Amino acid sequence: MRIALIGQAAFGEKVLTELHARGEEIVHVFTPPDKPGGRTDPLKAKALELKVPASQPASFKTEQAFAHFKSLNADLGILAFVTLIVPERVLYLPKHKSICFHPSLLPRHRGASAINWALIHGDSETGVTVFWPDKGIDTGPILVQKRASIQESDTVGSLYFERLFALGVEAIIESVELIRAGRAPAIPQDESLATYEPICRDEHARVNFNRPAREVYNLVRGCDPQPGAWCQLAGKRVRLYGPALESTSHLAAPGTIVGVDASGMRVALSQGTLRIARVRVEPRGERVAPEEMLASGELSLGAQMT
């Protein structure tokens, strides 16, 4: 099958690798433009390695991009981790139109930060969806879905890389086989179950230690590694990583640092304790163990995080 692949990062690279290994004809790979001084995108690097034609359009909305995509005469378009808007007229150019990967059980958690919000909302289950995209945001009919449980210790990073990443690649390969066999479904999404959340940014990642312990914990793990849940300590912005929720309660006010050891920093919550394994004090870029900050005097027992 002649496939035009749009994507980026490790996920796009893995999809390309698997499709190529199965003998699919990848007619072109599209990746975002390189960032000045940044490393080569893994999907672009893999395309160059496999000698697959590749380009990096800044937009798919131009007449030039439309004409280029049309000239490929593709049987199928695959969107594998796409951040640029791909217009409907481009999506519908291939013989079988296009399919798109999304890391949630659509129609729940539409939007670009689906994994973040699944954790922030305390979901116990999530999954991946391959759907037929249209002009809406994650609104097209469903082709394949696969479910995954959310573990108590999961962060965005662990949930994605340990389960959803592989499930997503598997779902795309399964979708291609269904399309080839002429058995690909197009199941309308139930709009009564739909949710949509914005990109998870700093405005959503501010920690309020006075909230219920479970809610605080879900926010921290739902922002790990990006954007990083944050609070203030001694006038500096501190980001929190590697959280764990402990049942031990303290008389100290929520947000008080009540312990620091090799396992991390313990912060009092309402009816519980939040243990944080690593912290980052802005504007520094590196994450450090709280013990290091204690030794340097940057934090102290009894200090209040707000």
Domain map of the chain by residue range?
2-193, 202-296
Average pLDDT over all residues of the chain: 97
pLDDT at 88 (0 to 100): 96
Query: Taking the CB of residue 270, how many other CB atoms lie within 10 A of it?
Result: 16
Q: What CATH architecture is 202-296?
A: Roll (3.10)
Among positive and negative, which fits the CA dihedral 201, 202, 203, 206?
A: positive
- Rg (the chain; Cα; Å): 22
| Whether CATH 3.40.50.170 fits 2-193 | yes
Lookup: tokens for 211: 């909230």
The answer, yes or no, to whether the previous bond of 36 is cis (omega within 30 of 0) is: no
Domain 202-296 in the same topology as domain 2-193: no
Using one digit for the tens of pLDDT, what is the confidence trace for 65-119? 999 999 999 999 999 999 999 999 999 999 999 999 999 999 999 999 999 999 9
Report yes or no: 143 and 178 within 8 Å, Cβ to Cβ.
Answer: yes
Q: How far is CA 173 from CA 51, 54, 76, 253, in A?
A: 21, 21, 12, 52
Using one digit for the tens of pLDDT, what is the confidence trace for 146-182? 999 999 999 999 999 999 999 999 999 999 999 999 9
Residue 107, SS3? Answer: coil
Using one digit for the tens of pLDDT, what is the confidence trace for 231-287? 999 999 999 999 999 998 888 999 999 999 999 999 999 999 999 999 999 998 899
User: How far out from the chain centre does Cα 178 lie?
Assistant: 26
Report yes or no: 126 and 167 within 8 Å, Cβ to Cβ.
Answer: no
Residue 151, SS3? Answer: coil
